[in-house]
């Protein structure tokens, strides 16, 4: 069955429709060679149609233990080829059984180049009899999707507090402000802490401090940080009161709370092969990344020092302030998928900041 990817900017890509239901979302690409399950279950991909640049997907099946949340968050999965033998259709079935549209046999190289050169537009994956019908369906889906509440962080965040015991009984207690957290961020904290308590993104300062945490983690999450409600003001009040560690969206919210500005990257950083210069751990390593926004360096306060730089484009990848007890990292030190060299930043937070 033929299927179509229709971009809001007018381009149409035709491929093989493998199942799922028609959906719209922001079209982005990821350069990871593995980790399709972790990508699809990462809440940061909420409302996004993901194009995988590695040609073969689904070739090592599925394993629920590597899921980064309890559900699939993507609104579409595009690849050149999907494992579709009679013996192993596990990933294909997992996507289509959950209604995620799956499109294959399109020129993903050309599509990735279009996204790099022209930015990441809205688009829709649809089944249709012809291109005219596909355009009409896509336009309606995109228009409907744009009515969604822009605070995607709140949509992805837990609505009720959750307490988890840690592995280190003499370790600190950490309050986690959930912006759409990956499970591995929580696992890394649990390995080092006596207890963590996970709060909704709109939790008040009073409720967080009532837990009496030793430090605060701001997690990853989807969308534009400038559209996040409540959390920026909450973090601003907590600065200097408790040590704060922000990852990805948490890094951006921390930047806004410090008075800095954020801006949208042309096509974002998504993949597990992004090089970083880290002056905190004094290393250069490759990282896993997934974000579409960055903090503008010139707007950071003078006491906040840029400590991490993306060596692909020179964007701010991390900052630290000893005075305000805060560390922000614009990538995934918890990896999954990706390399693990940056995981030492969790120990830095626990051992030195708390």
Cα dihedral value 271, 273, 274, 278, nearest 10: 130
State pLDDT tens for residues 254-293. 999 999 999 999 999 999 999 999 999 999 999 999 999 9
pLDDT at 145: 96
Q: Characterize the bridge pairing of strands 23-30 and 56-57.
A: unpaired
pLDDT at 351: 86
Which residues neighbour 330 within 8 Å (Cβ) at sequence distance 6 or greater?
248, 251, 252, 289, 291, 294, 295, 308, 310, 315, 316, 317, 318
In terms of C-beta density within 10 A (0-12 exposed, 13-18 middle, 19 or more buried), how is residue 97 classed?
A: exposed
Compute the mean pLDDT over every residue in the chain, rounded to the nearest whole number: 95
pLDDT at 89: 87
Pairwise CA distance, residues 307 & 299, whole Å: 15
Is the predicted pLDDT of residue 339 greater than 80, yes or no? no
Pairwise CA distance, residues 250 & 263, whole Å: 15
Tokens of 303: 């006491």
State pLDDT tens for residues 133-172. 999 999 999 999 999 999 999 999 999 999 999 999 999 9
SS3 318: strand
pLDDT at 331: 92
pLDDT at 99: 97
Reported confidence tier of residue 307, pLDDT bands at 50, 70, 90: very high
pLDDT at 56: 95
Q: Name the DSSP letter for residue 252.
A: H
State pLDDT tens for residues 56-102. 999 999 998 999 999 999 999 999 999 987 777 899 999 999 999 99
Mean pLDDT of 48-54: 98
Mean pLDDT of 203-222: 97
pLDDT at 134: 97
Q: In angstroms, how far is the first alpha carbon of the chain from the final one?
A: 56
| 253 touches 261 (CB < 8 A) | no
* Among candidate residues 289, 279, 286, the one with its CA nearest the CA of residue 327: 279
Place of tokens 């299927």: 3
Is the predicted pLDDT of residue 304 greater than 90, yes or no? yes
Is the predicted pLDDT of residue 197 greater than 80, yes or no? yes
How many residues in total does the chain contain? Answer: 354
Catalytic residues: 248, 332, 334
Reported confidence tier of residue 322, pLDDT bands at 50, 70, 90: very high
Reported confidence tier of residue 250, pLDDT bands at 50, 70, 90: very high
């Amino acid at each position: 069955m033929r299927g179509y990817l229709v971009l809001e900017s007018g381009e149409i890509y035709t491929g093989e429709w493998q199942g799922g239901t028609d959906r719209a979302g922001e079209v982005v690409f990821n350069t990871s060679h593995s980790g399709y399950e972790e990508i699809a279950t990462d809440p940061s991909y909420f409302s996004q149609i993901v194009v995988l640049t590695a040609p073969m997907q689904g070739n090592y099946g599925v394993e629920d233990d590597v899921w980064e949340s309890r559900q699939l968050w993507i609104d579409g999965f595009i690849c050149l080829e999907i494992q579709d033998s009679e013996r192993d259709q596990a990933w294909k079935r997992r996507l289509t059984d959950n209604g995620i549209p799956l499109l294959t046999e399109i020129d993903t190289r050309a599509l990735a180049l279009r996204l790099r050169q022209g930015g990441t537009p809205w688009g829709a994956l649809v089944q249709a009899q012809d291109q005219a019908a596909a355009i009409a369906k896509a336009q309606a889906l995109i228009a409907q999707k744009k009515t969604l509440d822009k605070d995607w962080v709140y949509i992805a965040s837990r609505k009720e507090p959750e307490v988890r015991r840690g592995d280190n009984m003499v370790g600190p207690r950490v309050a986690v402000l959930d912006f759409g957290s990956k499970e591995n961020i929580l696992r890394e904290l649990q390995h080092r802490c006596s207890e963590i308590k996970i709060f909704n993104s709109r939790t008040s300062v009073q409720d967080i401090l009532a837990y009496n945490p030793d430090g605060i983690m701001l997690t990853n999450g989807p969308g534009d940080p400038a559209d996040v409600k409540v959390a920026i003001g909450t973090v601003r009040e907590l600065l200097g009161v408790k040590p704060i560690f922000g990852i990805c969206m948490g890094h951006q919210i921390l930047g806004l709370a410090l008075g800095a500005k954020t801006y949208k990257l042309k096509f974002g950083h998504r993949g597990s092969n992004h090089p970083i210069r880290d002056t905190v751990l004094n290393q250069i390593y490759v990282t896993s990344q997934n974000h579409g926004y960055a903090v503008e360096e010139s707007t950071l306060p003078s006491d906040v020092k840029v400590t991490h730089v993306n060596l692909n484009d020179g964007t701010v990848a991390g900052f630290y302030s000893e005075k305000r007890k805060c560390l922000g990292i614009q990538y995934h030190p918890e990896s999954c998928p990706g390399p693990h060299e940056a995981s030492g930043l969790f120990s830095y937070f626990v051992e030195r900041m708390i």
